[in-house]
Amino acid sequence: MRLRHTVPGAVALTSLAFLLIIPAAPAAAASASDTLRASARGTGVRIGTAVNTDALADEAQYRDLTAAEFNTVTAENVMKWQLTEPERGVHDWAAADRLIEFAQANGQKVRGHTLVWHSQNPDWLNEEDFTPTQLRAILRQHIFDEVRHFKGKIWHWDVVNEIFEDDGSWRDTIWLRNLGPGYVADAFRWAHQADPKAKLYVNDYNNEGINPKSDAYYDLIKQLKSEGVPVQGYGMQGHLAVQYGFPADVLDNMRRFEKLGLDTAFTEVDVRMLLPTDTAKVQAQAEGYNNLLRACLLAQRCVSYTVWGFTDKYSWVPGVFTGEGYATLMDENYVRKPAYAAVRDTLRLAA
């Protein structure tokens, strides 16, 4: 899976207009006690969602459910470099700032996503136009600019995103080609210097269980930790599909990273299926969500469980995986699926 998320159109509202429509208190169709957010209290695990900021600005029901159901939020796109610095030296923080204002108004923590990635970089960042020395300076400046802008407002940063292939080899990127693997240590050090209080994560997909990719992360992080690099969290995206089954050794994998001194988190969970749906697929989807949630609840240092969007109305899956979809906890009309009930009930039992 090379293409991870599509980019929404730019939010056209002004910051003031957006603030005027922030609800004074969380609201939802169901009672406040019948939400994921309420069910997670007492578990030690925060429940989060990626946020489509266009929908947040335009649609009251989406806004109300985002506030009511979750106590952490992740910007689906608006903190990515492509949108924060569309022209070199010209920054646009407005959409991300509005998301942070929304989160603060609703008592939510914010995950920053993402600082260093091979995708969704600005068009001006063309390696043919820069030397390796220049690219290193550009990357450093980007990390300092973004982390300092949001200093004190970000709970976790996904510092590096998807740096390995599934076979455990390094992903061929502009950063690896020009800077070598040392760019990872540099990125963590720069991010820590820019905001020493933010927790700093690696983040990837297909790394939930023990396999060549997670082995590569384990070896790298063990080395980085021995060198004093401030890697503090292991992020597992959790993009699953019912037709492929689910990893059976997720908890064992998490425990080995926790023994390295890291927190763990599921950062982008969804469970897609081949369409049309049927009862067996829907039941399997619920089990897929719960497979990861149970591991998080059983682990010693799993701090959050974030879904990559909560309604099929704004899911990225159909646009990327032809013939697949129905991947989130609610359908296009915000009707809760069995997967929602499974996650809620598991949280309640653990509280």
pTM over 0.85: yes
Residue 163's pLDDT is what? 98
| pLDDT tens sequence across 168-200 | 999 999 999 999 999 999 999 999 999 999 999
Residue 3's pLDDT is what? 38
Q: Are 154 and 198 in contact (CB under 8 A)?
A: yes
- Kindly indicate the confidence band of residue 32, based on its pLDDT and cuts at 50, 70 and 90: confident
Query: In this model, does residue 22 exceed pLDDT 50?
Result: no
Cβ atoms within 10 A of the Cβ of 213, count? Answer: 22
Of 36 and 13, which is predicted with more confidence?
A: 36
The residues that are catalytic are: 162, 268
Query: In this model, does residue 315 exceed pLDDT 50?
Result: yes
Residue 168's pLDDT is what? 98
- Kindly indicate the confidence band of residue 30, based on its pLDDT and cuts at 50, 70 and 90: low
Query: In this model, does residue 221 exceed pLDDT 80?
Result: yes
Which H, E and C letters describe the chain, residue by residue? Answer: CCCCCCCCCCCCCCHHHHHHCCCCCCCCCCCHHHCHHHHHCCCCCEEEEEECHHHHHHCHHHHHHHHHHCCEEEECCCCCHHHHCCECCECCCHHHHHHHHHHHHCCCEEEEEEEECCCCCCCCCCHHHCCHHHHHHHHHHHHHHHHHHCCCCCCEEEEEECCECCCCCECCCHHHHHHCCCHHHHHHHHHHHHCCCCEEEEEECCCCCCCHHHHHHHHHHHHHHHCCCCCCEEEECCEEEHHHCCCCCHHHHHHHHHHCCCEEEEEEEEEEEECCCCHHHHHHHHHHHHHHHHHHHHCCCEEEEEECCCEHHHCCHHHHCCCEECCCCECCCCCECHHHHHHHHHHHHHC
- Kindly indicate the confidence band of residue 82, based on its pLDDT and cuts at 50, 70 and 90: very high
**CATH 1.20.1090.10 corresponds to the domain 15-350:** no
Residue 33's pLDDT is what? 82
**In the predicted model, what is the mean pLDDT of residues 208-232?**
98
| pLDDT tens sequence across 83-119 | 999 999 999 999 999 999 999 999 999 999 999 999 9
Of 18 and 150, which is predicted with more confidence?
A: 150
**In the predicted model, what is the mean pLDDT of residues 34-47?**
97
**In the predicted model, what is the mean pLDDT of residues 272-296?**
98
Residue 288's pLDDT is what? 98
